[in-house]
């Protein structure tokens, strides 16, 4: 099933977007069909609500790169959405890890990108490999490396496919950007680029770091500022480049590999996805461009990429030479927002708390947001209860999101700590239990 086929079917029935919901239902708009938006839709589908997703793009091509899913995020999916088929996502276990001790502290945490890795010096010398079995014993739900596209397609299936569960699927409108939000607390609405206006009981902004819903809610002064750091990104298909299979196979168990040179402030991170057949490459570096004048995820020419790795050994230059359509992704994060809610509208995921990738927690914290919403807005919630339940959502989630975001900044310059990433505060958090405890006081 393609997302375009689902969209065409939904557009054939436009009444699915507007009108009153059935008794016990809320009519919910989700702005943005990224990972958090689709996960929120799938969870609210299980509660029997009527859901319409508005997505500005058309998803005609595969999007994104690799993603690291830590135990708190895995637990949300496994506990709330057992319909998710993990085999469909071709996950790779994260089993081995290490730290590079001689890297400059000021950027070591950013380079590690929350993934403890098999580590090499850029000249080719192997430094250290560590086992992360301790983490698996503490968090047996698992740690996984996944192609973002595979993850997106599977969560999309659970949210939109009529065969995924017995309850009606969410509707989706692709190629439908939102230009305005009316925050009327009784009946908020969204206006699309073609001038259509739709009213809902609840509107959820899951439209990412460049969120239109956020701009309408708090203004552009809270847009994420340039940081002058970036990541080169590309993929390596080992079926096409078997000579590079050492990056996956020269180890006792699967996991990421780091190769970096502190002298010119560049680090290359590689980890297997899609069953180990693809290698995701992410290379941290100083971004000398005017970041406000270029695209946040721009194409990168091969000469620029090769020059960046000119001091690396020939063995590692081979990983660069085969790059196809490399891109430069800017590293940005949101400042603290004055609010995540207004009327019957709320922000979730990167729209509310886009953070640095130090702990690999961005999507996982977004899943916590989605789980909290689904718990607070369970089946039978009345439209008159939306404002009070959104207040609880903000009381729970805003401190949590801000805390993890601040940790992602602080630990770029934290003292050496080999197990800094195994934090129960992060990985043992249960958003459903927290939400149920809060809602019991209503």
Query: What would the pLDDT profile of 306-322 be if each residue is shown by its tens digit?
Result: 999 888 888 889 999 99
Query: In this predicted structure, what is the pLDDT of residue 214?
Result: 98
Query: What would the pLDDT profile of 260-297 be if each residue is shown by its tens digit?
Result: 776 666 788 889 999 999 999 999 889 999 999 999 99
Query: In this predicted structure, what is the pLDDT of residue 269?
Result: 86
Opening angle at CA 247, ends 422 and 137, nearest 5: 25
- pLDDT, average across residues 52-72: 86
* For residue 14, pLDDT beyond 50: no
Query: In this predicted structure, what is the pLDDT of residue 130?
Result: 66
Q: Write out the two tokens for 212.
A: 């239109």
- pLDDT, average across residues 245-265: 80
**Roughly what angle, to the nearest 10 degrees, separates helices 431-439 and 386-410?**
140
Burial class (CB in 10 A: 0-12, 13-18, 19+), 394: middle
**Dist CA 1 CA 49 (whole Å):** 23
* For residue 92, pLDDT beyond 70: yes
- pLDDT, average across residues 242-268: 82
What phi, psi does 280 have (nearest 5°)? Answer: -85, 125
Q: Which residues pair with 141 in a beta bridge?
A: none
What is the residue-averaged pLDDT of the chain? 87
Query: In this predicted structure, what is the pLDDT of residue 111?
Result: 40
Q: In this predicted model, which residue has the larger pLDDT, 255 or 77?
A: 77
pLDDT band, very low/low/confident/very high, at 98 (cuts 50, 70, 90): very low
Q: What is the set of domains in the chain, with CATH numbers?
A: 3-65+148-223+336-439 (3.50.50.60), 96-131+226-330 (3.30.9.60)
Percent of the chain with pLDDT over 70: 83
Query: In this predicted structure, what is the pLDDT of residue 172?
Result: 97
Query: In this predicted structure, what is the pLDDT of residue 141?
Result: 94
User: Sheet holding 27-31: strands in order across?
Assistant: 171-173, 50-54, 27-31, 202-205, 345-347, 341-342
Q: In this predicted model, which residue has the larger pLDDT, 135 or 107?
A: 135
* For residue 60, pLDDT beyond 90: no
**Dist CA 210 CA 164 (whole Å):** 31
**Dist CA 338 CA 103 (whole Å):** 36
Query: What would the pLDDT profile of 322-378 be if each residue is shown by its tens digit?
Result: 999 999 999 999 999 999 999 999 999 999 999 998 888 999 999 999 999 999 999
Q: In this predicted model, which residue has the larger pLDDT, 106 or 153?
A: 153
* For residue 105, pLDDT beyond 60: no
Query: What would the pLDDT profile of 118-166 be if each residue is shown by its tens digit?
Result: 555 666 666 566 677 777 888 999 999 999 999 999 999 999 999 999 9
Percent of the chain with pLDDT over 90: 67
Query: In this predicted structure, what is the pLDDT of residue 261?
Result: 72
Query: In this predicted structure, what is the pLDDT of residue 136?
Result: 83
Q: In this predicted model, which residue has the larger pLDDT, 71 or 419?
A: 71
Q: Write out the two tokens for 85.
A: 């088929």
CA dist list (Å): 136 to 3, 40, 157, 428 = 34, 27, 28, 12
Query: In this predicted structure, what is the pLDDT of residue 192?
Result: 98
Picking from 42-56, 107-121, 142-156, 378-392, which range would have the lowest pLDDT averaged per residue? 107-121
Task: Write a three-state SS string for the chain.
Answer: CCHHHHHHHHHCCHHHCCCCCCCCCCEEEEECCCHHHHHHHHHHHHCCCEEEEECCCCCCCCCCCEEEECHHHHHHHHHHCCCCCHHHHCCEECCEECCCCCCCHHHHHHHHCCCCCEEEECCCCEEECEECHHHHHHCCCCCEEEEHHHHHHHHHHHHHCCCCCCCCCCEEECCCCEEEEECCCCCCEEEECCCCEEECCEEEECCCCCCHHHHHHHCHHHCCCCCCEEEEEEEEECCCCHHHCHHHHCCCCCCCEEEEECCCCEEEEEEEEHHHCEEEEEEEEECCCCHHHCCCEEECCHHHHHHHCCCCCHHHHHHHHCCCCCEEEECCCCCCCCCCEECCEEECCHHHHCCCCCCCCHHHHHHHHHHHHHHHCCCCCCHHHHHHHHHHHHHHHHHHHHHHHHHHHHCCCCCCCCCCCCCHHHHCCCHHHHHHHHHCCC
* For residue 67, pLDDT beyond 80: yes
**Roughly what angle, to the nearest 10 degrees, separates helices 71-80 and 431-439?**
60
Contact 146, 155 (CB under 8 A): no
* For residue 418, pLDDT beyond 70: no
Q: Write out the two tokens for 121.
A: 């010096």
* For residue 397, pLDDT beyond 90: yes
What phi, psi does 383 have (nearest 5°)? Answer: -60, -30
Query: In this predicted structure, what is the pLDDT of residue 106?
Result: 37
* For residue 16, pLDDT beyond 70: no
Contact 159, 46 (CB under 8 A): no
């Amino acid at each position: 099933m393609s997302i375009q086929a689902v969209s065409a079917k939904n557009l054939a029935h436009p009444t699915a977007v507007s009108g009153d919901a059935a008794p016990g239902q809320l009519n919910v708009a989700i702005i943005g069909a990224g990972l958090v938006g689709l996960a929120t839709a799938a969870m609210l589908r299980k509660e029997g609500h009527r859901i319409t997703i508005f997505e500005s793009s058309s998803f005609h091509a595969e999007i994104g790169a690799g993603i690291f899913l830590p135990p708190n995020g895995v637990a949300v999916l496994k506990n709330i959405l057992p319909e998710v088929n993990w085999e469909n996502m071709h996950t790779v276990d994260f089993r081995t890890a290490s730290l590079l001790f001689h890297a400059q502290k000021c950027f070591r945490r950013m380079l590690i990108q929350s993934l403890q890795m098999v580590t090499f010096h850029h000249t080719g010398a192997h430094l250290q490999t560590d086992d992360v079995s301790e983490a698996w014993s503490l968090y047996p739900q698992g740690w996984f490396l996944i192609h973002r596209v595979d993850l997106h397609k599977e969560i999309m299936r659970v949210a939109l496919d009529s065969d995924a569960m017995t309850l009606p699927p969410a509707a989706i409108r692709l190629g439908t950007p939102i230009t305005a939000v009316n925050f009327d607390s009784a009946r908020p609405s969204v206006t699309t680029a073609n001038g259509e206006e739709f009213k809902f009981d609840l509107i959820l902004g899951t439209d990412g770091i460049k969120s239109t819903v956020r701009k309408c809610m708090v203004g552009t002064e809270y847009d994420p500022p340039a940081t002058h750091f970036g990541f080169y990104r590309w993929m390596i298909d080992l079926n096409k480049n078997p000579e590079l299979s050492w990056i996956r196979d020269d180890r006792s168990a699967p996991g990421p590999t780091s190769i970096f040179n502190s002298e010119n402030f560049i680090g290359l991170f590689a980890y297997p996805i899609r069953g180990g057949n693809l290698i995701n490459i992410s290379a941290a570096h100083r971004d000398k461009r005017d970041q406000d004048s270029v695209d946040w995820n721009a194409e990168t020419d091969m000469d620029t990429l090769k020059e960046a790795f000119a001091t690396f050994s020939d063995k590692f230059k081979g990983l660069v030479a085969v790059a196809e359509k490399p891109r430069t992704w800017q590293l940005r994060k949101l400042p603290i927002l004055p609010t995540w809610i207004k009327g019957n509208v709320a922000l979730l995921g990167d729209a509310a708390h886009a953070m640095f990738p130090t702990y690999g927690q961005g999507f996982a914290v977004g899943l916590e947001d989605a789980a909290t919403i689904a718990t607070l807005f369970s089946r039978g919630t009345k439209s008159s209860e939306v404002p009070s339940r959104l207040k609880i959502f903000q009381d729970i989630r805003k401190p949590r999101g801000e805390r993890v975001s601040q940790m992602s900044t602080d630990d770029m310059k934290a003292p050496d700590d080999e197990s800094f990433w195994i934090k129960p505060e992060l990985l043992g958090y249960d958003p459903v239990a927290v939400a149920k405890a809060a809602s019991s006081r209503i």
